[in-house]
C-alpha cells in the first residue's frame, strides 16, 4: 500500500497547481513512451502507450511560461542481474507502472494567429512502481526499488519541442516530443552507454481553453 501512496501523492502534487495557478488552458492526450536500451545482451527498447495531461502553472508573458506535465505508462521489466530493464512479454518478471512528472520553462514562437512552436527545458521526476507478476519474483522487489530510486535515477533533465494549431477559440491540437536524459550514468558506475535508458515521448494532445 505504501508504494501506491507514494505514486498518487506525486500525482496530486503535480496536478493540484492547475486549480491555483492555472492560466486558462489544459492539454489532454496520449502517445508513446520509448525507454531506449543499447545493451544487446540485456532487455529491449521498450515502446509502450501513454496518457498525458499538461498545463501552464505560471505565464510570464505571451512567449515565456512554466509548464507542468504528467505522463502515465506501463511496461514489462525483468532483472538482468545488475539492472532493471524493459523486457519481452515472455521474459517479464514485473509490470512497472511509470509516471513522468515534469516542470519545464517554455519559450513559445507565434508563427501566426493559429500556429505556435514551443521549445522546452526543465527537469522531470520519473517514478516507477514495480508489481510482481508471480510469487517467484517477489524477492526481486528490493533490487527493482533499489535500482529505480538509487543513484538519483528518478531525476532527469527534460527537453522538448512542440507544435500547436488553434482551430477554434477554445480548442486546438498539439504534437510534442520530449527526451529525458540519463545523466545518472555520470556517477552510477555502470559503465553503460550514456544514452542507455534515455526516455523519449511522442505525444498528441487536445488543447482546451477555458
Per residue in 153-190, pLDDT (tens digit) is 999 999 999 999 998 888 999 999 999 999 999 998 88
* Rounded mean pLDDT, 57-70: 90
pLDDT attached to residue 50: 96
| Nearest alpha-carbon partner for 83 in 168, 163, 146, 136 | 146
Span 57-73, average pLDDT? 91
Q: Does 73 score more than 50 pLDDT?
A: yes
Q: What is the CATH number of the domain that holds 124?
A: 2.40.160.20
What's the pLDDT at 38? 86
pLDDT at 23: 56
- CB atoms under 10 Å from CB of 107, counted, come to 12
- Of the pLDDT bands very low, low, confident and very high (cuts 50, 70, 90), residue 130 is very high
Q: Looking at residue 71, what is its pLDDT?
A: 97
According to the model, what pLDDT value does residue 169 have? Answer: 84
**3-class SS letters over the chain:** CHHHHHHHHHHHHHHCHHHHHCCCEEEEEEEEEEECCCCCCCCCCEEEEEEEEEEEEEECCCCEEEEEEEEEEEEEEEECCCCEEECCHHHCCEEEEEEEEEEEEEEEEECCCCEEEEEEEEEEEEEEEEEECCHHHHHHHHHHHHHHHHHHCCEEEEEEEEEEEECCCCEEEEEEEEEECCHHHHCCCCCCCCCCCCEEEEEEEEEEEC
Neighbour tally for 151: CB within 10 Å: 15
- Mean pLDDT, the chain, integer: 88
Number of compact structural domains in the chain: 1
pLDDT at 11 over 80: no
Residue 90: pLDDT band by 50, 70, 90 thresholds? confident
Whole-number pLDDT of residue 13: 52
pLDDT tens, position by position, 21-59 = 445 789 999 999 999 998 767 778 889 999 999 998 888
- Residue 27's beta-bridge partner residues? 54, 207
Average pLDDT over residues 187-207: 91
> 112 lies in which domain range?
2-209
Amino acid at each position: 500500500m505504501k508504494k501506491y501512496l507514494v505514486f498518487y501523492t506525486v500525482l496530486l502534487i503535480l496536478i493540484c497547481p492547475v486549480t491555483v495557478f492555472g492560466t486558462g488552458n489544459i492539454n489532454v492526450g496520449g502517445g508513446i513512451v520509448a525507454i531506449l536500451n543499447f545493451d544487446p545482451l540485456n532487455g529491449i527498447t521498450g515502446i509502450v502507450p501513454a496518457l498525458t495531461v499538461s498545463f501552464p502553472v505560471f505565464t510570464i508573458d505571451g512567449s515565456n511560461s512554466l509548464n507542468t506535465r504528467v505522463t502515465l505508462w506501463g511496461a514489462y521489466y525483468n532483472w538482468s542481474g545488475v539492472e532493471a530493464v524493459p523486457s519481452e512479454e515472455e521474459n517479464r518478471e514485473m509490470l512497472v507502472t511509470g509516471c513522468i512528472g515534469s516542470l519545464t520553462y517554455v519559450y513559445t514562437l507565434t508563427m501566426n494567429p493559429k500556429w505556435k512552436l514551443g521549445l522546452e527545458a526543465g527537469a522531470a521526476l520519473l517514478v516507477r512502481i514495480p508489481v510482481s507478476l508471480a510469487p517467484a519474483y517477489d524477492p526481486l522487489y528490493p533490487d527493482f526499488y533499489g535500482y529505480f530510486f538509487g543513484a538519483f535515477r528518478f531525476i532527469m533533465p527534460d527537453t522538448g519541442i512542440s507544435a500547436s494549431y488553434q482551430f477554434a477559440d477554445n480548442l486546438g491540437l498539439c504534437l510534442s516530443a520530449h527526451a529525458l536524459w540519463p545523466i545518472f550514468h555520470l556517477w552510477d558506475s555502470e559503465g553503460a552507454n550514456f544514452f542507455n535508458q534515455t526516455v523519449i515521448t511522442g505525444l498528441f494532445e487536445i488543447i482546451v481553453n477555458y
